[in-house]
């Protein structure tokens, strides 16, 4: 059996960004489910979803510009940007600072 050591956590969820922000929202019984506002849902039977909230990172929201250049964001799906954001968060949480590329 291989042993694994978790050194850092990175979360990008409908509750927000970062494990501390997510945990505090969970403890306060807050939901990440809300009305869909990012696209037209008039012809859909469901009008609610768990979407990653976008905005200022300091507020616990996801800012894709912190992780991927705007030009490159147009070339990739949101799930890739979310994964890169979670990876950046995990590395930051681990306290690892690369010395070079």
Q: pLDDT tens for residues 7-66?
A: 899 999 999 999 999 999 999 999 999 999 888 999 999 999 999 999 998 888 999 999
Q: Are 85 and 64 in contact (CB under 8 A)?
A: yes
Q: Are 82 and 12 in contact (CB under 8 A)?
A: yes
Q: Are 38 and 55 in contact (CB under 8 A)?
A: no
pLDDT at 1 over 90: no
Torsion angle in degrees (nearest 10) through CA of 10, 12, 17, 20: -50
């Amino acid at each position: 059996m291989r042993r694994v050591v978790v050194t850092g956590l990175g979360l990008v969820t409908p509750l927000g960004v970062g494990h501390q922000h997510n945990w505090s929202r969970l403890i306060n019984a807050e939901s990440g489910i809300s009305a869909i506002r990012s696209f037209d849902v008039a012809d859909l039977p469901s009008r609610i979803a768990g979407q990653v909230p976008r905005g200022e990172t300091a507020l616990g929201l996801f800012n894709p510009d912190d992780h991927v250049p705007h030009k490159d964001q147009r070339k990739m799906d949101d799930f890739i940007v979310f994964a890169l954001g979670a990876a950046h968060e995990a590395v930051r949480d681990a306290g690892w600072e690369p010395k070079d590329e």
